[in-house]
Amino acid sequence: MLIPELQLRRDKIRVLMAQQNIDAAIISCNVNLLYTYGQVVSGYLYLPLNAPARLFLKRPNNITGEHVHAIRKPEQIIDLLKENGLAIPHTLMLEGDELAYTEYTRLAAMFPEATIVNGTPIIRQARSIKTEIEIIMFRRAAAAHAKAYAQIPSAYREGMTDAEFSIEIERLMRLEGCLGLFRVFGQSMEIFMGSVLAGDNAAAPSPYDFALGGQGLDPSLPGGLNGSLLQKGQSVMVDLGGNFNGYMCDMSRVFSIGKLTEEAYKAHQVCLEIQEKVASMAKPGVVCEELYNLAIDIVDKAGFADNFMGINQKAKFIGHGIGLEINEVPVLAPRVKQELELGMVFALEPKIVLPGVGPVGIENSWVVTADGVDKLTLCTEEIIEL
Amino acid sequence: MLIPELQLRRDKIRVLMAQQNIDAAIISCNVNLLYTYGQVVSGYLYLPLNAPARLFLKRPNNITGEHVHAIRKPEQIIDLLKENGLAIPHTLMLEGDELAYTEYTRLAAMFPEATIVNGTPIIRQARSIKTEIEIIMFRRAAAAHAKAYAQIPSAYREGMTDAEFSIEIERLMRLEGCLGLFRVFGQSMEIFMGSVLAGDNAAAPSPYDFALGGQGLDPSLPGGLNGSLLQKGQSVMVDLGGNFNGYMCDMSRVFSIGKLTEEAYKAHQVCLEIQEKVASMAKPGVVCEELYNLAIDIVDKAGFADNFMGINQKAKFIGHGIGLEINEVPVLAPRVKQELELGMVFALEPKIVLPGVGPVGIENSWVVTADGVDKLTLCTEEIIEL
């Protein structure tokens, strides 16, 4: 990673720290280290407001440099700060929404005189506005993601289960360079590579806060595909995470086993209309809840409100920020007063679930430009018959 | 899940709670909910010492029952406890090593009069001794894991990269029912389905605390395969996680592209000898560090100490407990005075990395029986030429 890019990212965090009179941050979660150091390491990036960052490193043991200090345990950081003439901070921020309680309190105890504040919202705010290089990374991921999705019809064989179909698509994604790992914010969220939902399984409620649920194959992972045979007249929605370089590109496409009902094609067009209208309204300064309300208006008028974003258990959002994790800020949801800003990247995913058919709709990843939004994930949006 | 099984698991936790005068626990991490409730949910299992457990449930919305209460936020738990005649605990345990700091303090703030203690070590201790049903689950996972591994030679084609080979093995695992998700304890540990390490990449240091490293394909996930071509004279170690039903079965096997050096076969036999000697010594009451020291003695005498468990960066263990997560207690490592107990399940993984060749060695999953240990993962252990 180029130093100026890392400098830029660190300074984005510093600006927000300064607004809250925070003197220094300790960053030790993988995604935040990736953001501020350019790679995942096991250690601590110490980020003072007014001095260069320093890396206190446990592993790997092959990184060296002027501002890199090998340590075995975090308590060594204090002496190393003093030896290097750095002031002990008055107000220190730690990753309170991400670090485990015992790890947070261990780090806090190293600074008994300091006020400790939760830095996760600040770091997530900084991360929500992507740099030009991050947007390039997203474009690359989106191109690979779309290239894999374009091959999905070749993966289908009659008589497959949803699991068998998913496995062949996972393979296509991996062959295009997908790293597989699905990074998500929040300890209770988990998923394998994403979800492939066919027929009525798309309406099954799950514990996870993704757009749609699914029963899953096992109570230990109750989400996504459930092993049922793909059958004529069913729709299948493919929504696998596009992690090709750390950035979680997000994209859903719908396929059909034979023809679907007329209602299903109509519902799909409603989702495409929502996408078009929301995208044409979205630009810097537009409030997130207005985009959500616009979608609800359209789906209400079209008569699909009861089936929008699930049936028995509905997702209360139509889109979400994406970045190093799948669920970043902003969220396109009711009562979210946050405004879109230049450089934000989000997934927009209007989806309708029809009993006896399955899920229809669309999901693309978008970047907020100076005067609108630009679609990153370019691939046929109509329902493709398998 | 059968109620008597869940009762048994909850009582294992209660016994340890009673020893520390803990009145109640709130359990809300996925693996611990899976352990105590039999499935992952979004919510809180309230486990009093002397009353039946209650589930305070956010999602999914299709679970009901006498002791199930729908909530929107955890603060509703207090009133529901009072309404149902349950005493507010004097000492409450929360999952301190697993919950994020802000989530832990939010739950703790609901009980301002109570002493709050970290319950993670207690729950992990309870989980370390598997029930009979858990051992059956492990045996099933091991059989599926071995069945997938037996097909690995069919996945190889000359001219493949390590990534391409891994992708075909991942597919075999998934087709045998592997859920894919790799659950690991500790926020900084992460991996996709496991690792496939070929040639010198096996010696590359990584930030993660797995037995071997690997450079990875990208700085965002610096571990495991690195995309290099598989070449004549190289060894390839396959170490994918066997999560077929929530239980993380662990198993490594070595393959060769053509023949390896004589030294490599010798080193492999040293690892098999370590496995045999450690397994023959292991039984209830044996101290973990003694098993580690035994392995070190053998590898020292055989002249492979410098290459054991990595070269430049070495893992400081030869085995680890497995269960719902890949890294449970006990750990077979220096200075670990813990004794093996009946019902523990662990992975034993003596491995040697040879420059110019790659990794050799073995990994199997074992259950501690009344008078020894029983191997769960049954599949050829010699190096298989591809």
What is the interface pTM, i.e. ipTM, of the complex?
A: 0.97
Average confidence (pLDDT) over A278-283: 98
- What pLDDT score was predicted for residue B2? 66
- Span A77-102, average pLDDT: 97
User: Domain containing A24 — which CATH number?
Assistant: 3.40.350.10
User: What is the domain count for chain A?
Assistant: 2
Q: How many angstroms separate the CA of residue B60 from the nearest CA in chain A?
A: 5
For the cut 90, the answer to whether the pLDDT of residue B232 exceeds it is: yes
Whether the Cβ atoms of residue B362 and residue B244 lie closer than 8 Å to each other: no
Q: Do A219 and B38 touch (CB under 8 A)?
A: yes
Percent of chain B beyond pLDDT 70?
99
Q: What is the pTM of this model?
A: 0.98
Which candidate from B58, B183, B219 shows the least CB-CB separation from A39? B219
| A166, containing H or E segment | helix A162-175
Average pLDDT value for chain A:
97
- B118 pLDDT above the threshold of 90: yes
CB–CB contact B221 A171 (8 Å): no
In the predicted structure, residue A157 carries a pLDDT above the cut 70: yes
The tens digit of pLDDT for each residue in A340-375 reads 999 999 999 999 999 999 999 999 999 999 999 999
Share of chain A above pLDDT 90, in %: 98
Question: Could you tell me if A268 and A279 lie in one domain?
Answer: yes
Question: Which structure tokens are listed for A298?
Answer: 């359209």
Q: Identify the band that residue A1 occupies on the pLDDT scale cut at 50, 70 and 90.
A: low
Give the pLDDT confidence score for residue A26 in this predicted structure. 98
Is it the case that residue B1 has pLDDT exceeding 90? no
- The tens digit of pLDDT for each residue in B143-173 reads 999 999 999 999 999 999 999 999 999 999 9
Do residues A248 and A182 lie in contact, with contact meaning Cβ atoms separated by under 8 Å?
A: yes
**Average model confidence (pLDDT) for chain B?**
97
Give B174-204 pLDDT, tens digit per residue: 999 999 999 999 989 999 999 999 999 999 9
Per-residue pLDDT, A102: 98
Give chain B positions within 8 Å (CB) of A1: 219
Last residue of a domain, one of A83, A107, A127: A127
Please report the DSSP string for B329-377 in residue order.
EEEE-TT--PBP-TTBEEEE--EEEETTTEEEE-BEEEEE-SSSEEE--
Same domain, B227 and B250: yes
The token pair at B251 is 């198993």
Q: 10 Å Cβ neighbour count for A18?
A: 12
Contact across the interface for A187 and B30, Cβ inside 8 Å: yes
pLDDT, position B89: 97
Same structural domain for residues B60 and B165?
A: no
Going by pLDDT thresholds of 50, 70 and 90, the confidence category of residue A66 is: confident
The minimal CB distance from A101 to the residues B60, B99, B324 is found for: B99
Position A3 confidence tier, pLDDT thresholds 50, 70, 90: confident
Which is nearest to A378 in space by CA: A359, A364, A360?
A: A364
- Mean pLDDT over B286-308 rounds to 98
* pLDDT, average across residues B311-324: 97
φ, ψ of residue A129 in degrees (nearest 5): -100, 110
Contact B209 A313 (CB under 8 A): no
Amino acid occupying residue B6: L
Domain CATH for B182: 3.90.230.10
Do residues B362 and B238 both lie within one domain? yes
Sign of CA dihedral B148, B151, B154, B159: positive
Looking at residue B187, what is its pLDDT? 84
Do A69 and A171 fall within a single domain?
Answer: no
Q: Tell me, yes or no, whether B123 and B158 share the same domain.
A: no
pLDDT in tens, A6-45: 999 999 999 999 999 999 999 999 999 999 999 999 999 9
Q: How many CB pairs under 8 A join A and B?
A: 197
Give the N- to C-terminal CA distance of chain B in Å, as an integer: 42
Across the interface, which of B100, B193, B205 has its CB nearest the CB of A180? B193
Among the three residues A90, A111, A127, which one is the final residue of a domain in this structure? A127
**B38, B62, B167 ranked by CB distance to A312: nearest:** B62
Burial class (CB in 10 A: 0-12, 13-18, 19+), A88: middle
* Distance from C-alpha of A207 to C-alpha of A189, rounded to nearest angstrom: 9
Strand (E) or helix (H) holding B297: helix B288-302
**Is there a single domain that holds both residue A364 and residue A246?**
yes
A241 and A248 Cβ atoms separated by less than 8 Å: yes
CB distance A98–B103 less than 8 Å? no
Instruction: Please tell me the predicted confidence (pLDDT) of residue A187.
Output: 85
Q: What is the pLDDT of residue B228?
A: 98
Closest Cα in chain A to B216: A179
- Taking the CB of residue B215, how many other CB atoms lie within 10 A of it? 22
> Nearest-CA neighbor of B42 among A210, A269, A239, A303?
A210
pLDDT tens by residue, B211-230: 999 999 999 999 999 999 99
* Tokens found for residue A212: 């749609």
For residues A133 and A197, the answer to whether their CB atoms sit within 8 Å is no
* Average of per-residue pLDDT across A94-121: 98
CA distance A343 to chain B (A): 21
Q: In whole angstroms, how far apart are CA B380 and each of B152, B264, B272, B358, B377?
A: 12, 17, 12, 19, 10
- The pLDDT of B298-310, averaged and rounded, is 98
Per-residue pLDDT at A2:
66
Average of per-residue pLDDT across A97-111: 98
The answer to whether residues A293 and A281 belong to one domain is yes
End position of a domain, from candidates B127, B142, B173 = B127
Residues A199, A277: one domain? yes
d(CA A192, CA A173): 13
Q: Which domain holds residue B177?
A: 129-385
Q: Mean per-residue pLDDT for A101-116?
A: 98
A228 and A277 share one domain = yes
Check whether residue A96 and residue A149 sit in a common domain: no
| One domain for residues A143 and A41 | no
pLDDT digits over B340-376, tens only?
999 999 999 999 999 999 999 999 999 999 999 999 9
CA distances from A126 to A14, A19, A30, A77, A348 (A): 9, 13, 16, 25, 21
Q: What integer pLDDT is reported at residue A218 of this predicted model?
A: 98
For residue B219, the tally of other CB atoms under 10 A from its CB is 16
Q: What does the pLDDT read at residue B3?
A: 84
